[in-house]
């Protein structure tokens, strides 16, 4: 009888040890982000590649006032949707007032072939159309870089060619700035806020 109790106790101790080890493995894996590849069915290799997006890119094509295609250092094209802004549509069937002007302004700001810095700063790496979501900088941002002057997303709002659009669940570090710049553009009748 005693040997059966001892065996049961050893089996219980072994089971508890295995459970403890599994909990530790999963906790460490979660801490280092390993669960994204193993346990998240929506996590794809596309997303993994897009997470490494921060860096210098060349402008390949401007689609409209808030979307463009950029080429990375390995000649891979990335369709990018600018975080935190919404410009009037200038393509497709639903062309909106100010759409062509927003696209033209963006083409002047970052012409095809120019170099920009992309920074993916969202908890959502892609949107529902599988476009990478990023901030676009005219230069590599540092602690001293003025977002009002070098962040393309902010410049589109400041000049009245886009409005603030923070998606549900986003954590935009520039939301307050974007709102101030939109109020400035509205108050001064710039771009899409002009009365003409």
61-75 tens-digit pLDDT: 999 999 999 999 899
Whether residue 33 sits in one domain with residue 117:
no
Given this model, what pLDDT does residue 28 score?
Answer: 63
SS3 letters across 91-114: CCCCCCCCHHHHHHHHHHHCCCCC
Q: Indicate the range of 31-35, 130-134, 150-154 predicted with least confidence.
A: 31-35
Q: Would the pTM of this model clear 0.75, i.e. be above it?
A: no
Q: What is the domain count for the chain?
A: 2
CATH number of 94's domain: 2.40.50.90
β-bridge mates for residue 64, sequence order: 67
pLDDT at 36 > cutoff 50: no
Given this model, what pLDDT does residue 13 score?
Answer: 74
Whether residue 103 sits in one domain with residue 25:
no
């Amino acid at each position: 009888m005693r040997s059966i109790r001892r065996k049961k106790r050893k089996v219980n101790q072994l089971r508890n040890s295995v459970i403890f080890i599994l909990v530790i493995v999963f906790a460490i894996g979660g801490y280092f982000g390993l669960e994204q590849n193993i346990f998240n069915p929506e996590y794809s290799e596309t997303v993994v590649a897009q997470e490494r997006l921060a860096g210098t890119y060349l402008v390949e094509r401007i689609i409209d006032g808030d979307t463009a295609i950029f080429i990375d250092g390995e000649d891979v094209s990335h369709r990018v949707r600018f975080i935190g802004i919404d410009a009037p549509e200038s393509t497709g069937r639903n062309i909106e007032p100010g759409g062509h002007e927003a696209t033209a302004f963006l083409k002047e700001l970052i012409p095809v072939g120019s170099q920009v810095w992309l920074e993916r700063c969202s908890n959502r790496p892609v949107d529902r159309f599988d476009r990478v979501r990023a901030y676009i900088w005219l230069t590599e941002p540092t602690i001293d870089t003025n977002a009002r002057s070098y962040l393309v997303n902010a410049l589109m709002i400041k000049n009245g060619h886009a409005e603030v659009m923070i998606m549900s669940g986003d954590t935009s570090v520039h939301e307050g700035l974007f709102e101030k710049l939109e109020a400035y553009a509205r108050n001064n009748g710039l771009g899409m806020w002009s009365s003409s």
